[in-house]
Structure 1
């Protein structure tokens, strides 16, 4: 499962923070994100994300 942080951020473009994991996934699906991006988001911890940097920080370990 390889995808770039840029792909993840593109899928989350224009999302209104703060959001939880479920909202991240729903937004990405609504904007036709790739299955790889969806998998990465599904692997994120269940918590509230206050900005794109917080999502990227969690994603860096993938």
Structure 2
């Protein structure tokens, strides 16, 4: 099931960018993200993300 970009960013609000994939997953977990969001974040490439747009692009490339 595809994650809505707005829903994804809801769980990543207040992330300090740049952030690594692990940081994004941890932050989403701490802010109550559901398993669908966490699975989506686990599927993105292992790298540092400079901002929300970079995360959204990576998620879009995986779907």
**In which range does the TM-score fall when normalised by the shorter chain?**
over 0.9
| Residue 60 of structure 1: how far off its partner (Å) | 1.1
Greater percentage in helix:
2
RMSD: 0.8
> What TM-score does the superposition give when structure 1 sets the normalisation length?
0.94
Query: Which residue number corresponds to residue 6 of structure 1?
Result: 6
Structure 2 residues not aligned, in runs of 5+: none
Query: Which residue number corresponds to residue 20 of structure 1?
Result: 20
In 2: Cα distance, 1:2 partner to 1:45 partner: 17
> What TM-score does the superposition give when structure 2 sets the normalisation length?
0.93
- Kindly report structure 1 stretches of 4+ aligned residues shifted beyond 4 Å: none
The count of aligned residue pairs is 62
Structure 1 residues not aligned, in runs of 5+: none
